[in-house]
Amino acid sequence: MGFVTGITNGIDSITRYVNFLSMGLFFFIMIVGIVGVVSRLFGIALIAGIVNFSELLLVMAIYFGIAHTQKVRKHVAMQLFVLGLTGRKKRILDIINLVIITSILSIVVITCWDYAINSFNIKERMHGAPFYPIYPAKFVLAVGMSTLWAQVLADIIRGFISKRTS
């Protein structure tokens, strides 16, 4: 059990660090937005590409934080089928749900990495000046979805461990 617990705790740590990156990006987006507003107040021309840059940062911030949402179980969930369930039945349904999610996320993760690598290979850029590269955001999306996949896998492992220890 110690090795398995170490793996799940390691995944939790990775999720925590990636979430800190997400929070830092949200802070940076806020600073970029403030600079844009203040520059307009003082009659300085809008910084070229600030909106496009903010869009790229927003994608990065959201997908870096998505695994943390799973970790703390603060995502939107439908309770329709589980309201009356308790104990073992609820835990089994949770594990089945997580296995289905992991299967779907496996396809999403593979596709995200494929798109990110392809985008890097062709040096894909945004339309309109100043033509920011898109591939960093696609790599962040792939990392974020991979972290989410690992976090869901850790939740499955925890579900089996708690099932044995209950």
Asked if residue 84 has pLDDT above 80, the reply is no
Write down the mean pLDDT value for the chain: 85
What are the domain boundaries of the chain? 2-165
The helices-and-strands tally (H runs, E runs) of the chain is 4, 0
Indicate whether this model's pTM tops 0.75. Answer: yes
Q: What letters, b where the CB count within 10 A reaches 16 and e where it falls short, cover 129-144? A: eeeeebbbbbbbbbbb
